[in-house]
């Protein structure tokens, strides 16, 4: 845990008890939580934490490249602490989001009419469908 905390200190990130609780909640979290879900979880331990503190912390983490905003859900942003390149799939029934660790860079390309105008540095593929649990 100390290595985890020192990583953020090294980024010039002020570590208050509330921020440590947010970081702890996000550490290894693969559920792609929303700011509201993070707020609800942290509020159980710190009842006086404000939504602004949670949101500002998420923004600071995102600005420092330690968190990715996932916009696959048109209703709200989700947050992914895994910043390794990957894609996402979302169930249209239960709205579960899962990571997809497949490199599509060889199979995806821009059409010739656009490729000359861009130097592609990355891609993100979003899949939508019904998960196995909801399909049953």
Average pLDDT over residues 84-91: 93
- CATH 3.30.1490.190 domain position(s) in the chain: 87-135
Q: Give the per-residue pLDDT at 1.
A: 55
Q: Give the per-residue pLDDT at 3.
A: 65
Q: Quick check: pTM over 0.85?
A: no
Q: Give the per-residue pLDDT at 13.
A: 79
Q: Is 32 a residue whose pLDDT tops 90?
A: yes
Write the DSSP symbol of residue 35: H
CA distance 104 to 72: 17
Q: Give the per-residue pLDDT at 42.
A: 97
* Residue 35 and residue 17 in contact, taking contact as beta carbons nearer than 8 Å: no
What is the full DSSP assignment across 89-122? EEETTT--EEEE----TTT----HHHHTT-----
Q: Give the per-residue pLDDT at 108.
A: 73
Q: Give the per-residue pLDDT at 72.
A: 85
Q: Which CATH class is domain 87-135?
A: alpha beta
Q: pLDDT higher for 122 or 34?
A: 34
Q: Give the per-residue pLDDT at 2.
A: 61
Average pLDDT over residues 1-12: 71
Average pLDDT over residues 37-47: 97
Specify the CATH architecture of the domain 2-80: Orthogonal Bundle (1.10)
The band of 73, judged by pLDDT with boundaries at 50, 70 and 90, is: confident
Q: Give the per-residue pLDDT at 45.
A: 95
- CATH 1.10.10.10 domain position(s) in the chain: 2-80
């Amino acid at each position: 845990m100390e290595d985890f905390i020192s990583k953020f200190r090294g980024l010039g990130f002020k570590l208050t008890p509330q921020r440590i609780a947010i970081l702890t909640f996000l550490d290894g979290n693969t559920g792609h939580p929303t700011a509201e879900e993070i707020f609800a979880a942290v509020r159980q331990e710190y009842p006086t934490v404000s939504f602004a503190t949670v949101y500002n912390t998420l923004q600071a983490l995102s600005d420092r490249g330690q968190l990715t905003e996932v916009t696959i859900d048109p209703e709200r942003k989700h947050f992914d602490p895994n910043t390794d390149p990957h894609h996402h799939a979302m169930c249209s029934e239960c709205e579960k989001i899962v990571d997809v660790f497949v490199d599509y860079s060889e199979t995806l390309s821009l059409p010739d009419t656009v490729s000359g105008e861009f130097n592609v540095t990355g891609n993100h593929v979003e899949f939508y469908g019904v998960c196995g649990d909801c399909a049953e």
